Chain A
Amino acid sequence: MSSVTKNAGRLDAVAPAIELIGISKAFGPVQANKNISMTVAKGAIHGIVGENGAGKSTLMSILYGFYKADAGAVKINGVPTQINDSHDAIAAGIGMVHQHFMLVDNFTVLENVILGAEEGATLGPSLRKARKELKRLADEYELDVDPDALIDDISVGFQQRVEILKALYRQAEILILDEPTGVLTPDEADHLFRILRNLKEQGKTIVIITHKLREIMDVTDSVSVMRRGEMTKTIATATTSPEDLAEAMVGRRVLLEVNKVPAQVGETVMEVRDLSVTDIHKVKRLKGVSFELKRGEILGIAGVAGNGQSELLEVIAGIGPATSGEVLMHGEAIDVSAKANAQLRRHRGISHVPEDRHQRGLVMPFMTWENTTFGYHNEPEYCGKYGLANQRFMVEDARGKMERFDIRPPNPQLVASSFSGGNQQKIVLAREIERNPDVLLIGQPTRGVDIGAIEFIHQQIVNLRDAGKAILLVSVELDEIQALSDRILVMFDGVIQGERMPEDTNEGELGLLMAGVDPETGK
């Protein structure tokens, strides 16, 4: 840093870019960070992995000045630095790219870049300066973005580049990225990693928070593992393996592959014919999708979020209307109009684990026994006399489900929000799977779920398939699609871009399909 004296300048060469010493932070009774120390060398790409709630984001938020640590110190380039807010962080040369982008949608790229860094009362000079600077950064780091495009009009991959540009424009030397690939296609992720390597070559220091071990292995020089607020391990990436990292994250050996035998595919259970959905803003979300779903198979639908998968699930589940087309169950058409009722779908043998368990799959302030009957609460066994609910049976029923699905703590009176993501998902799964459906629709089965529970959930899905049920799996995690599916459909922009068998394809090809490119012609 320019403010460092010449004498300290020599120290600079060896001083680590980031040094955290004994950081602790508690939120009420929850100890989010316990005495964490970490060093990141200058010019390195450092990964931080850990399950949800392990304290990764809290730690980085302390570094960026969002939270104040209860104890501990921060040194930047060897200089003790007090970071009270994001201004201090920027002044110390730290830039952050959040998981959820902090961009103004109806501003242009250029306007977003200068937002908060405007100089003078009129915008003209700042905009001109930023335009020049953006051009330079684009050339230097492969960070091309049209400066005059509206954020609304560019893809998430480009939006992320704008976030990175914002940080670089503010002369960040240290860049923190929180779950940067969550919304990207594999292709976009690769491009991001190229950018990061370029930045590294120019001497920038990069910290990536992620839960994807493959990315850690691909791109980082060193990696720290966090578990329950503590840093359990820091190691050079070259000397570790995904299995070791997973073990350090969970605290026990975990199975990263899914254990399954070849599918015994039976007759067609469900047929989707030429299904289209136009939303209330007159945007076409689904454009003539057709496929068949057979007994005993897991049909995986891959695609970047927002390419029509959600609408497809909603129509089949009876919670969103189709504009045209039909869905046949055992050869019989089911109601796909706005009048469709999700309870009738369940009577048809269609169960649904929705993508959004917080807003759809569970009622967060409801107790477990209220949630394990949700959607089936009008089934005769849960009904009492005079329109009352048979609450005693509902509680007993929940107790059994919690035991069979190893939901912890096994107390049916606890509200859904007090469980971890994995246990919440198990509540939904227990409810839907135990109805013994012919078809299980399942969206993002392991989003926000810890590794230990992922293993269990995957096994449940495979078991259901082996019991001869048909499963329609939607996931934005390509790894998950590849590991579970017996057949893969790739969706892009509301159409099925391609169908592949998992054994005949690879991530590169699927990634191209997800980006709307035909792998044959490259267009």
Chain B
Amino acid sequence: MNKSLPKWVDLGLIPFFTLLLAFAVSGLVVMSIGQNPIEVVKVMLQGAFNPFGIGHTLYFTTNFIFTGLAVAVAFHARLFNIGGEGQAGVAGVGVAVVMLAFDWPHWTIALLAGTLAAMAFGAAWAAIPAYLQAKRGSHIVITTIMFNLIATALIGYLLVGPMQAEGSLPESPSFPPGAALPSMYEILGWFGIPFDKFAPANISFFMALIAAVFVWVLIWKSRLGYEMRAFGHSERAAVYAGISPLKITMVAMLLSGALSGMMAINTVQGEAERLVLGAVEGAGFIGIAVALMGRSHPVGVVLAAFLFGILTQGGAELQFTLGIPAQMITVIQALIIMFTGSLENMVRIPLEKLFLNTGKRGAAS
């Protein structure tokens, strides 16, 4: 079948309907525990968008944009990077090591150094699975999962050993004051826009948006992106065109790891200002769902990241206000992943019938 759906249907209507379906089923689940779905949605949205909540929503969104872009970039080269969790975790170690090493004179320098450290450590953690895939054919899904576990163990060791602050919990010493990044409150304050003073959202949010633009240019405008997409569609074609599978696998995974790693600027340098256990909070995995739902397009990734940001923050509010267990929000996220990821054809096929048939009638008349 050569006909394809109009772009707005493909990128707009299908995700919209799948989300609607996911929410409808979520509503049933909510009802089954004796809650009113309308009420739940209200509480969630209020929780995500009230002056206090939005600062958290944007903070989570930032994480998900980075990890979502990471998965998307790798996926264009048909590499399934499940290792965002570990790459972001190790990047946190890198950020902490660099931040603790100097007394930073100004946040701009600290941000630059932190970003480079995060990218380098994230990329390094992706490099070994990438090399094993390219040279030995060890499946990247398996190796990146393994590397998540290794990262967890490594960070755990560092925080009860070499990096632990004296006489404290398993966490590193606090970074010097010069390493602190401008918070969203400060940045918006420069323009006279009021914002919650204690919100965790910070300058990394804007870096995430810049990263999304960079990814768009990379994938669709650069020769490297062209080679990555060619390799992703057909390795045999790539070899025919003289594109090295080793190079593309390495480059795509290093970029992916670096993007995952950049999340640490937000969490470690921007928010916690020290390295704590579990700093990644599952964002590496949510990035997979975000990329899936955003169809590996930077715009889609940003939008999906925002949705998952709302769900995360709104879900916390649900627990707080209505006493609905936090697991409920995991169920809703899972339903969204299920509908957008694997049940998409439920929506796609009827829509295709609808649009392509009317198209035919139009052509016939």
Residue of B nearest to A415 (CB): B4
B135 interface residue per 8 A CB criterion = no
Q: Which of A1-59 contact B (CB under 8 A)?
A: 27-30
The distance in angstroms between the C-alpha atoms of A84 and B223, with both chains bound, is 51
B277 interface residue per 8 A CB criterion = no
The distance in angstroms between the C-alpha atoms of A361 and B239, with both chains bound, is 10
With contacts A342-B240, A359-B234, A363-B237 taken as known, whether A383 is within 8 angstroms of B360 at the C-beta atoms is no
Q: Which of B62-70, B146-154, B351-359 contacts A (4 or more CB under 8 A)?
A: B351-359
Q: Which of A173-181, A372-380, A487-495 contacts B (4 or more CB under 8 A)?
A: A372-380
Q: Which of A109-117, A182-190, A387-395 contacts B (4 or more CB under 8 A)?
A: A387-395
B1 touches A27 (CB 8 A): yes
A418 interface residue per 8 A CB criterion = yes
* Chain A residues, CB < 8 A from B229: 363, 366
- Return A349 CB to nearest CB of chain B, in Å: 14
The distance in angstroms between the C-alpha atoms of A318 and B239, with both chains bound, is 9
Q: Pick from A345, A362, A387: contact of B242, CB below 8 A.
A: A345
A365 touches B233 (CB 8 A): yes
Q: Pick from B217, B237, B240, B357: contact of A29, CB below 8 A.
A: B357
The distance in angstroms between the C-alpha atoms of A214 and B75, with both chains bound, is 48
A360 interface residue per 8 A CB criterion = yes
A388 touches B222 (CB 8 A): yes
Q: Pick from A319, A387, A417, A418: contact of B222, CB below 8 A.
A: A387
A360 touches B237 (CB 8 A): yes
A363 touches B233 (CB 8 A): yes
The digit string for B1-43, where 1 denotes a CB below 8 A from any CB of A, is 1111000000000000000000000000000000000000000
- Return A322 CB to nearest CB of chain B, in Å: 15
B244 touches A375 (CB 8 A): no
* Chain B residues, CB < 8 A from A341: 242, 244
B226 interface residue per 8 A CB criterion = yes
With contacts A359-B234, A374-B230 taken as known, whether A319 is within 8 angstroms of B2 at the C-beta atoms is no
* Chain A residues, CB < 8 A from B239: 319, 342, 360
A245 interface residue per 8 A CB criterion = no
- Return B310 CB to nearest CB of chain A, in Å: 32
The distance in angstroms between the C-alpha atoms of A417 and B198, with both chains bound, is 53
B240 touches A360 (CB 8 A): yes
The distance in angstroms between the C-alpha atoms of A343 and B239, with both chains bound, is 9
Q: Which of A373-412 contact B (CB under 8 A)?
A: 374-375, 377-378, 383, 387-389, 391
B236 touches A366 (CB 8 A): no
A362 touches B237 (CB 8 A): yes
B317 interface residue per 8 A CB criterion = no
B241 interface residue per 8 A CB criterion = yes
Q: Pick from A29, A362, A387: contact of B359, CB below 8 A.
A: A29
B237 touches A387 (CB 8 A): no
B221 interface residue per 8 A CB criterion = yes
Number of interface residues of A (CB under 8 A): 36
- Return A331 CB to nearest CB of chain B, in Å: 23
Q: Which of B204-225 contact A (CB under 8 A)?
A: 217, 221-224
A95 interface residue per 8 A CB criterion = no
- Return B139 CB to nearest CB of chain A, in Å: 18
B227 interface residue per 8 A CB criterion = yes
B2 touches A418 (CB 8 A): yes
Q: Which of B174-201 contact A (CB under 8 A)?
A: none
B1 touches A29 (CB 8 A): yes
Residue of A nearest to B242 (CB): A343
The distance in angstroms between the C-alpha atoms of A363 and B231, with both chains bound, is 9
A352 interface residue per 8 A CB criterion = yes
Residue of B nearest to A420 (CB): B2
- Return A371 CB to nearest CB of chain B, in Å: 10
Q: Pick from B233, B356, B357: contact of A364, CB below 8 A.
A: B233
With contacts A30-B1, A341-B242 taken as known, whether A356 is within 8 angstroms of B236 at the C-beta atoms is yes
- Return A506 CB to nearest CB of chain B, in Å: 35
A377 touches B241 (CB 8 A): yes
Q: Which of B238-253 contact A (CB under 8 A)?
A: 239-242, 244
* Chain A residues, CB < 8 A from B242: 318, 341-346, 375
The digit string for B335-365, where 1 denotes a CB below 8 A from any CB of A, is 0000000000000000011001101100100
Q: Which of A346-361 contact B (CB under 8 A)?
A: 346, 352, 354, 356, 359-361
- Return A80 CB to nearest CB of chain B, in Å: 30
* Chain B residues, CB < 8 A from A30: 1-2
Q: Main SS of chain A's interface residues?
A: mixed
Q: Pick from B222, B226, B236, B352: contact of A370, CB below 8 A.
A: B226
The distance in angstroms between the C-alpha atoms of A319 and B236, with both chains bound, is 9
Number of interface residues of B (CB under 8 A): 29
* Chain B residues, CB < 8 A from A391: 221
- Return A50 CB to nearest CB of chain B, in Å: 19
B2 touches A417 (CB 8 A): yes
* Chain A residues, CB < 8 A from B227: 377
Residue of A nearest to B227 (CB): A377
B230 touches A387 (CB 8 A): no
- Return A407 CB to nearest CB of chain B, in Å: 15
B240 touches A387 (CB 8 A): no
Q: Which of A164-179 contact B (CB under 8 A)?
A: none
A317 interface residue per 8 A CB criterion = yes
B221 touches A388 (CB 8 A): yes
Residue of A nearest to B235 (CB): A359
With contacts A28-B352, A30-B1, A341-B244 taken as known, whether A383 is within 8 angstroms of B223 at the C-beta atoms is yes
B221 touches A29 (CB 8 A): no
Residue of B nearest to A375 (CB): B241
* Chain B residues, CB < 8 A from A363: 229-230, 233-234, 237
* Chain A residues, CB < 8 A from B221: 388-389, 391
A29 touches B3 (CB 8 A): yes
Residue of A nearest to B240 (CB): A360
Residue of B nearest to A340 (CB): B242
- Return A319 CB to nearest CB of chain B, in Å: 5
B222 touches A389 (CB 8 A): yes
The digit string for A267-307, where 1 denotes a CB below 8 A from any CB of B, is 00000000000000000000000000000000000000000
- Return B213 CB to nearest CB of chain A, in Å: 14
* Chain A residues, CB < 8 A from B353: 28
* Chain A residues, CB < 8 A from B241: 342-343, 374-375, 377
* Chain B residues, CB < 8 A from A352: 240
The digit string for A492-511, where 1 denotes a CB below 8 A from any CB of B, is 00000000000000000000
The distance in angstroms between the C-alpha atoms of A341 and B244, with both chains bound, is 8
A361 touches B2 (CB 8 A): no
- Return B114 CB to nearest CB of chain A, in Å: 25
The distance in angstroms between the C-alpha atoms of A344 and B242, with both chains bound, is 8
- Return B247 CB to nearest CB of chain A, in Å: 10
B233 touches A366 (CB 8 A): yes
The distance in angstroms between the C-alpha atoms of A27 and B360, with both chains bound, is 12
Residue of B nearest to A376 (CB): B241
The distance in angstroms between the C-alpha atoms of A370 and B243, with both chains bound, is 14
The distance in angstroms between the C-alpha atoms of A257 and B145, with both chains bound, is 60
- Return B2 CB to nearest CB of chain A, in Å: 4
8 shortest interchain CB distances as A-B pairs: A343-B242, A342-B242, A375-B241, A29-B360, A360-B240, A418-B2, A359-B236, A363-B233
24 A-B residue pairs with CB within 8 Å: A27-B1, A28-B353, A28-B360, A29-B1, A29-B360, A317-B240, A319-B240, A341-B242, A342-B239, A343-B241, A354-B240, A359-B236, A360-B236, A360-B237, A360-B240, A362-B237, A363-B230, A363-B234, A365-B233, A366-B229, A375-B240, A375-B241, A387-B224, A388-B223
Interface residues of A (CB under 8 A from B): 27-30, 317-319, 341-346, 352, 354, 356, 359-366, 370, 374-375, 377-378, 383, 387-389, 391, 417-418
A30-B2, A418-B2 given. 7 additional CB < 8 A pairs?
Answer: A30-B1, A342-B239, A360-B237, A360-B240, A364-B234, A388-B223, A417-B2
